[in-house]
Amino acid sequence: MEQDLITAIWPQVVLPVIRITFFITIGLFIANFIESLNWTHRLATLARPLIRIGRLSVITGASFSVAFFSGVSANTMLAEAFDKGQMSKKELILANLFNSLPRFFLHLPTIFFLTAPLIKMGALLYVGLTFSAAILQTILVVLAGRMLLPVSDGACEVPSPQKAKIGWKTAFTKSIKRLKKRIGKILKFMIPVYLLFFLFNRYGLFTQIEEFIANKAWFLSWLNPQSLGIVILHVTAEFSAGLAAASVLLAENSLTYKEVILALLVGNILSTPIRAIRHQLPYYTGIYSPQLAVQLVGISQAARAFCVILVAVIYYYLA
């Protein structure tokens, strides 16, 4: 048993930590490099109307733009700004939520080309509804920023484009120096958290949680009983398993497209928080402090679930 545990540590802990550390290192370097070259204002152009309405800072706008290409780089940019006092905690939380739309686009090709062959036209509905939830969250974040952030926060001082230009070599050296200071702190928190979650997974904690949700799903009595199989597979296995079940039930005319879409949305709502805790939280603790990482992941999942539930309720009554 102990031998199996030791053998499993290399592929399930050491290699993933090396991979995540590599991506965090690249992300942190990119964030530092962008700031060193004073490119923050330029990158914020894409989100300028939204950050102006939401009283968000230029750094939030730059992070939003970077998140279309790298979620790790976007998060490290926010963490750096927060650590330097360039961003309040309120704005950090809102900025993290604001980046949900770019995150959606990062995963959009995978989601669409996985759903399309299995549920055909239902893929457009499912992707459209989850996209609507991401748009809704973005709108709510902008409105929350408008109400919660004072004008001074939205106009917080960031490196100005009028500053003296810094050469690429100088920016590179500066970024490497700052990276060395930060990477030790990142590993100090990330490795123990990743090891702890490996043990949780190894001894079945997450499986028990998933099975509890699947077995105690009395609140899903409004769903067609046959569609519960899709939800259970979505929660206990993975998204593709739920899709495969949906494909079979559609082919047999056992379920309508509406019933399948609702089952997939419910599975999405129930399964994503567990997977976020399992996969997202360990790498967040490498970027933010452990306490802040828990808060950001928790708030992000709650906001996302609220938006998906709202979209699903509207679809249930209007479709």
208-265 pLDDT, tens digit each: 766 665 566 656 666 777 777 777 777 766 677 778 888 888 877 888 999 999 989 9
Amino acid sitting at position 56: L
- CA 78 vs CA 70, 108, 318: distances in Å: 13, 23, 39
Q: How many domains does the structure of the chain reveal?
A: 1
What is the spatial distance between Cα 241 and Cα 230, in angstroms, rounded to a whole number? 8
Does a structural domain hold residue 164? no
**What pLDDT is stored for residue 34 in this prediction?**
67
Does a structural domain hold residue 141? yes
Does a structural domain hold residue 52? yes
What is the spatial distance between Cα 2 and Cα 14, in angstroms, rounded to a whole number? 17
pLDDT band of residue 95 (cuts 50, 70, 90) is very high
Which structural domain, as residue segments, surrounds residue 227? 2-157+170-318
**What pLDDT is stored for residue 157 in this prediction?**
42
The answer on pLDDT for 80 being more than 60 is yes
**What pLDDT is stored for residue 109 in this prediction?**
76
Does a structural domain hold residue 33? yes
pTM of the full structure = 0.74
Cα–Cα nearest to 260, from 296, 282, 234: 234
Mean pLDDT value of segment 24-30: 72
Does a structural domain hold residue 165? no
pLDDT band of residue 159 (cuts 50, 70, 90) is very low
Does a structural domain hold residue 266? yes
Dihedral over alpha carbons 94, 51, 286, 308 (to 10 degrees) = 50
Comparing 50-64, 197-211, 283-297, the range with the smallest average pLDDT is: 197-211
